[in-house]
Every structure is written in structure tokens, then in C-alpha cells.
Amino acid sequence: VVLALLFAAVLVFVARYSAQKDSSLVQCHDGDTCIVEHGLTSRSKIRLIGIDTPEVGQPFASDAKNYVEKSCRDKLIEIKFYGFDQYSRNLVELFCDGASINAQLLKKGLAELYVDRKFDYPRSKFAQKQKVAQAKKVGVWSLGGSRISPRIYRKMQKNLN
């Protein structure tokens, strides 16, 4: 019964938001987690699929957040829904002015790949964008050996607390 209700909720979300074009960005917590508004009354927390941006306190964290907000603020956005993560956030590819924000963050070196094999999203396109950023040594890739992956940074922070 619980599984059936969860499946029904997913279907409703997919039907309403998988190609939602009348959504708008409300705010971002960081470069890969934001709140979007659908119409006038519905809000949801989204997590950009396939990427991991620097955590608050890491180099380029504010750059990633600012890029998303600047690219999408006061514009209608398109959301491609893939499923939910372990924190019940909507995993999405976010489009502003037709461009994938996920891919752009990778290309600008403001994110790194976050591989999740449970979902069928454009992994190879994302990997290509990251390779471009690495080759150009932009964003986090300009840090060289001092770069700490957001995944490792989170673990380090957890161990400190």
C-alpha cells in the first residue's frame, strides 16, 4: 500500500513537472540544491542530477550558487524529472533559456560529476562537459592538488562534528 502510494505520488509529479515550463527559481541553498515554484501555490526542493557542486565554505561554492541564481532568476525554467534521492529531493535536470544548468556548471568547473546509476540521465554529455573544464583548468580544476571533492569535504565535516 505504501509503495503504491509512493508510486502514485511519483506519477503525479512526473506528469506535472517532468517537462514543467511554468516554474521559476525561488532560491538556492548551494549550486545543486534549490527551491522552485510551480505556478502560484506549489514549491518543491530540487537537486540537480549528475553533479556535485562545492559545499558552502569550499572554493567556488558561492560561484556555483550565484551562477544558478543569475542564470535562472526571473525566468521561466524547465525541469526534467528523474526520480527522488535518499533525502526525498526531486532529482532534475534544470534548463534556463534552453540550456542545461547541470551541464553548464560542469563546463565552467563549478561542479564535478556525481554518478548515480539508478537513473537514466545524460551521463556521457555531463562527462564530456567536465573533461572540457578539466582540460581548461577552470573553476575547481584550477585548484590542482589542493582541490577537495565535495563528497570528501562532507565526510571531513561530518568527522569534525
Contacts of 135 (CB under 8 A, 6+ apart): none
Distance between CA 20 and CA 53 in Å, rounded? 24
Pairing of strands 90-96, 42-48: parallel
DSSP β-bridge partners for residue 99: 96
Cell of 47: 537537486
Query: With contact defined as beta carbons under 8 Å apart, do 57 and 160 qualify?
Result: no
Q: Which of 37, 43, 47, 78 is catalytic?
A: 47
Q: Which of 78, 89, 112, 147 is catalytic?
A: 89
Is 89 in the active site?
A: yes
Q: Which of 16, 37, 43, 55 is catalytic?
A: 55
Instruction: Show which residues are catalytic.
Output: 47, 55, 89
